[in-house]
Amino acid sequence: MSEQPLNPAPTEAPDDDAPDTAPAGTVPTGPTPTDSTLTDSTPVGSTATGSTAADALADAPTDVTADVTADEAAALRAASFERARRLRQEPRFPGGPAADPAGSHHERRIRSFQPRRSRVTTGQQDALERLWPKWGLDIDGQRVLDLGEMFGGLPVVLEIGFGMGEATAQMAADDPGTGILAVDVHTPGQGNLLGLADKAGSTNVRVANGDAVILLREMLAPESLDGLRVYFPDPWPKARHHKRRLIQPEFLDLVTPVLKPGAIVHCATDWEPYAEQMLEVLTAHPRFANTAADGGYAPRPAFRPLTRFEGQGLDKGHVVHDLLFARV
């Protein structure tokens, strides 16, 4: 769930003609180094791995271009690119969420998530260092998860996008008989959710770092999920960006095989045009049936907490729509 004010104004996305790039800390190309750390205090353009010949080339003054050959200029560009790539892949916390969980599974495709890099607090860092080895996992695309073993036989729901994790932690505490596999790429939110779950004594939360598409496609067994939650995803309001919205027919095709019959797909949004698209796409899919008797939106179920940002939006007259569809 995106813990942002309702009706957000998303950061401007790259032009449609430009190639999509993976956000830092999610799924850039190449192996993940483990011998050094990049933190918020590491200046952009600096490295934590020591000086190399490539770095020296990249640090060369840019005003001497006329004095270098074409091959030397190409070497400068390659060295600069390599250094930038290495910086993106540096783990922020040793033993914590990887900067490049999918490695070679990186794909050049449109992504529904938006990179967000912000400061990790002391408490969030502590939670990541203590709890990630126990409750965290990287979406690397290299194995199929045994959810039965991971959650001790509990029914498991997948939550895609949890923001800072307050609502997820509350749902986990209110329903200890359900396991929640929560996916996001926002490091402060990952640490915050781990800390909140630990404080509440909840042991039914696992935090997954990386691309949910790779998780669904390569790491979940058929009919292993009892539900899917997508709360307040980025609405991508501009018409040319609608293709970036998560709830699309292709996404439902990907989700269907890993859901058990009767599993509930629960979406919520405050963006009216996106709610209409969600309703249209879910209604048209042959493997999902609307649980609302009138075929429209459903009342907010009691188990979905009213978040602080949602409450602020409601006070301003915003309308929030819930959709609950069962997999048939």
Mind telling me the catalytic residues? 234
The number of beta carbons lying within 10 Å of the beta carbon of residue 144 is 11
Q: Where are the alpha helices (DSSP H) in the chain?
A: 53-58, 70-89, 122-135, 147-150, 166-174, 187-200, 212-214, 249-255, 272-284, 308-315
Asked if 26 and 212 touch (Cβ cutoff 8 Å), the reply is no
SS3 47: coil
Separation CA 257–CA 66 (nearest Å):
58
254 exposure class (CB count in 10 Å sphere: 0-12, 13-18, 19+): middle
SS3 190: helix
**95-134 residues labelled b (16+ CB within 10 A) or e (exposed):** ebbbbbbbbebbeeeebbbbebeeebeeebbebbebbbee
The secondary element (H helix, E strand) that includes residue 29 is none
Angle, helix 187-200 to helix 122-135, in steps of 10 degrees: 80
| Phi and psi, residue 217, nearest 5° | -80, -35
